[in-house]
Amino acid sequence: MGADPMLAGNIDIWVVLIVLLKVFVTFAFLMVAVMFMVWFERKVISDMQNRIGPNRAGPWGLLQTLADGIKLFFKEDLIPDKADRRVFQLAPYLSLVPAFLTFAVIPIGGDFAKKSGVVKMFTHHTFLQLADPPIGVLFILSMSGIAVYGIMLAGWSSGSKYPLLGSVRASAQMVSYEAALGLSVLTVVLVSGTLSTHGIVLGQSSIRNWNIVQTGFIPFVVFLIAGTAEANRPPFDLVEAEQELVGGFNTEYSSIRFALFFLSEFMNTVTLSAIIVTLFLGGPQEIFHIPGPGWLLGMFWFFLKLFVFLFTMVWFRGTLPRLRYDQLMDFGWKALIPLSLAWLLIMSAVRLARNEGWNVPGVIAICLVIAALFYGLLVAAMNKSKSNSELIEVK
Amino acid sequence: MGYLQGFAVTFSKLFKNSATGAVVTTEYPEEKRVKTERLHGRHVLNRYEDGMEKCIGCELCAGVCPAKCIYVRGADNDPMNPTSPGERFGFVYEINYLRCIHCDLCVEACPTEAITESKMFEFSFLNRQDAIYTKAELVVGDDGKPQQLPWEDWREGEDVDTSAWMRATSSSGNAAYSGQVGWSGELGYGVRNAEGGQPAEAKANAIRIAAAAAAADAGKPGAHDADGHGHGGHH
């Protein structure tokens, strides 16, 4: 599996045990992170709305998520008569498993200051990440692609109209925003020259080398917005717009199956933040140097950065009202995709110009002119189509 | 850049001591909001000052009830040992609180101010039978206050002002009756005085009266300042 030095040599019992330990720790971490995230979101949202939030279960309401989970577990599990039973039962797992798997390729720590991310674990040198496949970024994208199926099939198999509407919205939204997401990730890959998540982190050794700077900030903003939409977080939570769709795709779900959707949703939030940190902000790379054991510092920086983005996600939710469906589509197709596409082309042109020794400002100017030209064409086409539809209305 | 201002607003609310960030939550079981004066809660059956029940078993409350939650059966009083003054009394009186909507129409309908509503609204039943309150629970105690049932959570002052006084300012729409005592006395309180309407109105009245008194003082010889408007009546 990729460049992990532990798996390069011969595989003995220790290696197997260490991998098992990593699996367990990753799983446990993700569960605890989700528990914390649900509580954190409710608390911060409450603070932003002059409320108190959960404060009954445990100190500061910390065990609220656990209490909710236990409650959901003991509730009656209903399957509607009209539901497609097999698919209905499968859907929550289709949404949960990708959420879990994505996190496997995130480097959550490692001694990046001195030893390029390698730490000594018992007897072996290894990375602090479950797996480092050479196609790590593609793996992330493919998992987010599969997650669409969970939501889509959940709504479709419920045999009920609101869930169906919710899932139709979900699939349209997730497919549209995946394009912008992919294009902004492509910029990162272009700069890093590798698809491995470990390699991407390795390339961002100081703030100047962070991809947020190297890719020129725009892909970061596009990724943040498109990622929020991809995870169905507010303000892009049309999928489960309570006021319009009862509960959206999960309306007919109850008990533990509902809990699985809920879990995967928050897991996606945590994973999304982790992906942003990995791709754009150097993952476990230090911001400034502090003395201490390398493996611990890597984790410290990673979690610090992760926390900032978790807060940002909640902040989005507390501040922005939900988009209307046509606004969502307009924003995705007419703003984010052209922007990220143009940015990718400019980045590649600049890179080529540097390699070939061309005049870089000149290339940028030409690119901008071409981009403006194409955007003008796009606007003209949209205006034409608008006037056409108005003509039809008059008739 | 209006979007970014929104982010600043929500962020500033995180701080409890900021201008708009104070917590507005009432932590319910520990603290309760002050209840409004005429809150429609669970009913009480009132008694006269001599301890007699006011209910005469006329069933008007049951007739007017839109939720059909009241069941009354009247019976003749024992002449030697009457329960209420008059011929009849409420022999059976039951209210089903699974049906009651607390509209207060029974209180309006009652000719003897027997039934009124208290401020207690926290019901807790474990079965449907328990939801039916009978005379044993509804009739006021010997001090004229509602009985505190074992499952009711009362706070200071919540059991006062539950009786006929509730209608003390209701003048049947006729201003001539405003301030007139048009109700009977009751156990523990006697005949209550008429009050100046709703709290806000009463407060305004008090201010008006105080202002008039102050103006009367100011209007004494030597201190008169020639403002002839707004004080009313003392010239």
Mean residue pLDDT across chain B:
78
Is residue A231 within 8 A of residue A270, CB to CB? The reply is: no
The tokens describing A330, both together, are 């307009």
Sign of the CA dihedral running A133, A135, A139, A140:
positive
**pLDDT value of position B69:** 93
Is residue A81 within 8 A of residue A87, CB to CB? The reply is: no
Q: Could you tell me which residues come within 8 angstroms of residue A273 by beta carbon, excluding any fewer than 6 positions away?
A: A306, A309, A310, A312, A313
Q: Look-up: residue for tokens 């009050």?
A: B195
The tokens describing B118, both together, are 């208290």
- Whether the per-residue pLDDT at A125 is higher than 90: the answer is no
Residue B100 CA to residue B56 CA, distance in Å, equals: 21
Is residue A48 within 8 A of residue B20, CB to CB? The reply is: no
Q: Give the ipTM of the model, two decimals please.
A: 0.73
> Containing H/E element for B161?
none
Strand ranges for chain B from DSSP E: 43-45, 70-76, 88-96, 115-117, 132-133
Is residue A128 within 8 A of residue A190, CB to CB? The reply is: no
Q: Lowest-pLDDT range, A22-31, B57-66, B156-165?
A: B156-165
**pLDDT value of position B50:** 87
Which pTM does this prediction carry?
Answer: 0.77
Question: Where does the pLDDT of residue B222 fall: very low under 50, low under 70, confident under 90, or very high at 90 and above?
Answer: very low
**pLDDT value of position B172:** 56
Q: Strand, coil or helix: what is A267?
A: helix
A44/B23 Cβ within 8 A: no
The tokens describing A390, both together, are 């108005």
CB pairs under 8 A between A and B: 33
Residue B214 CA to residue A390 CA, distance in Å, equals: 72
Query: DSSP class of residue B163?
Result: S
Q: Could you tell me which residues come within 8 angstroms of residue A262 by beta carbon, excluding any fewer than 6 positions away?
A: A72
Q: Could you tell me which residues come within 8 angstroms of residue A235 by beta carbon, excluding any fewer than 6 positions away?
A: A228, A316, A317, A320, A321, A322, A323
DSSP string across A281-300? S-TT--SS---S-HHHHHHH
Give A120 or B41, the one with higher predicted confidence: B41
In single-letter form, the type of residue at position B79 comes to P
Question: Which CA distances in Å does A143 have to A100, A136, A148?
Answer: 9, 11, 9
Residue A177 CA to residue A329 CA, distance in Å, equals: 9
Q: Average pLDDT, stretch A371-386? A: 88
Strand ranges for chain A from DSSP E: 118-121, 124-127
According to DSSP, the residues that pair with B133 across neighbouring strands are: B95
B11/A50 Cβ within 8 A: no
A48/B24 Cβ within 8 A: no
Nearest to B13 among A50, A52, A320 (CB): A50
State whether residue B176 sits within 8 Å of chain A by CB: no
User: Searching chain B, which residue's CA lies closest to the CA of residue A318?
Assistant: B10
Question: Where does the pLDDT of residue B150 fall: very low under 50, low under 70, confident under 90, or very high at 90 and above?
Answer: confident
DSSP string across B88-144? EEEEEEEEETTT-----HHHHH-TTS-EEE-S------SSTGGGEE-HHHHB--TTS
- Whether the per-residue pLDDT at A153 is higher than 50: the answer is yes
The pLDDT tens digits for B11-26 are: 888 887 777 777 888 8
Q: Strand, coil or helix: what is B230?
A: coil
CB atoms within 10 A of CB A88: 21
Q: What is the largest CA-CA distance in chain B?
A: 86
The pLDDT tens digits for A312-365 are: 999 998 888 888 888 888 888 888 998 898 889 888 888 888 888 888 888 888
Burial class of residue A395, CB neighbours in 10 A (0-12, 13-18, 19+): exposed
**pLDDT value of position A211:** 84
The tokens describing A143, both together, are 């998992």
According to DSSP, the residues that pair with A373 across neighbouring strands are: none
Residue A283 CA to residue B212 CA, distance in Å, equals: 75
The pLDDT tens digits for A58-106 are: 888 888 888 988 998 898 888 888 888 898 888 899 888 998 889 888 8
Find, among A278, A110, A302, the residue nearest to A185 by Cα: A278
Residue A214 CA to residue A190 CA, distance in Å, equals: 10
Distance from CA of B78 to the nearest CA of A (A): 56
The pLDDT tens digits for A178-234 are: 889 999 999 999 888 888 888 888 888 888 888 888 888 889 999 999 999 888 888
- Whether the per-residue pLDDT at B65 is higher than 90: the answer is yes
Find, among B75, B43, B71, B73, the residue nearest to B139 by Cα: B43
**pLDDT value of position B230:** 40
Distance, C-alpha B38 to centroid of its chain: 3
Is residue B184 within 8 A of residue B113, CB to CB? The reply is: yes
Question: Where does the pLDDT of residue B62 fall: very low under 50, low under 70, confident under 90, or very high at 90 and above?
Answer: very high
CB atoms within 10 A of CB A118: 22
Find, among A143, A38, A158, A132, the residue nearest to A96 by Cα: A143
- Whether the per-residue pLDDT at B204 is higher than 70: the answer is no
Nearest to A50 among B3, B11, B22 (CB): B22
Mean residue pLDDT across chain A:
85
Q: Average pLDDT, stretch B44-62? A: 90
Residue A89 CA to residue A184 CA, distance in Å, equals: 34
Q: Are strands B132-133 and B88-96 parallel, antiparallel or unpaired?
A: antiparallel
Residue A287 CA to residue A128 CA, distance in Å, equals: 19
**pLDDT value of position B12:** 84
Cα angle, residue A278 at apex, residues A275 and A284 outer, rounded to 5°: 135
Question: Where does the pLDDT of residue B198 fall: very low under 50, low under 70, confident under 90, or very high at 90 and above?
Answer: low
Phi and psi (nearest 5°) for A172? Answer: -65, -45
B6/A50 Cβ within 8 A: no
Q: Strand, coil or helix: what is A125?
A: strand
Q: Average pLDDT, stretch A255-271? A: 88
Is residue B206 within 8 A of residue B212, CB to CB? The reply is: no
- Whether the per-residue pLDDT at B228 is higher than 50: the answer is no
Is residue A273 within 8 A of residue A309, CB to CB? The reply is: yes
Q: Are strands B70-76 and B88-96 parallel, antiparallel or unpaired?
A: antiparallel
Question: Where does the pLDDT of residue B92 fall: very low under 50, low under 70, confident under 90, or very high at 90 and above?
Answer: very high
**pLDDT value of position A1:** 47
Q: Which of residues 26-55 of B touch A (CB under 8 A)?
A: 27
Residue A238 CA to residue A334 CA, distance in Å, equals: 19
Which chain B residues have a beta carbon less than 8 Å from that of A319? 6-7, 9-10
Question: Which CA distances in Å does B124 have to B19, B128, B132, B153, B206?
Answer: 40, 11, 12, 11, 41
Distance from CA of A46 to the nearest CA of B (A): 9
Which chain B residues have a beta carbon less than 8 Å from that of A318? 10
Phi and psi (nearest 5°) for B176? Answer: -65, -25
**pLDDT value of position B70:** 93
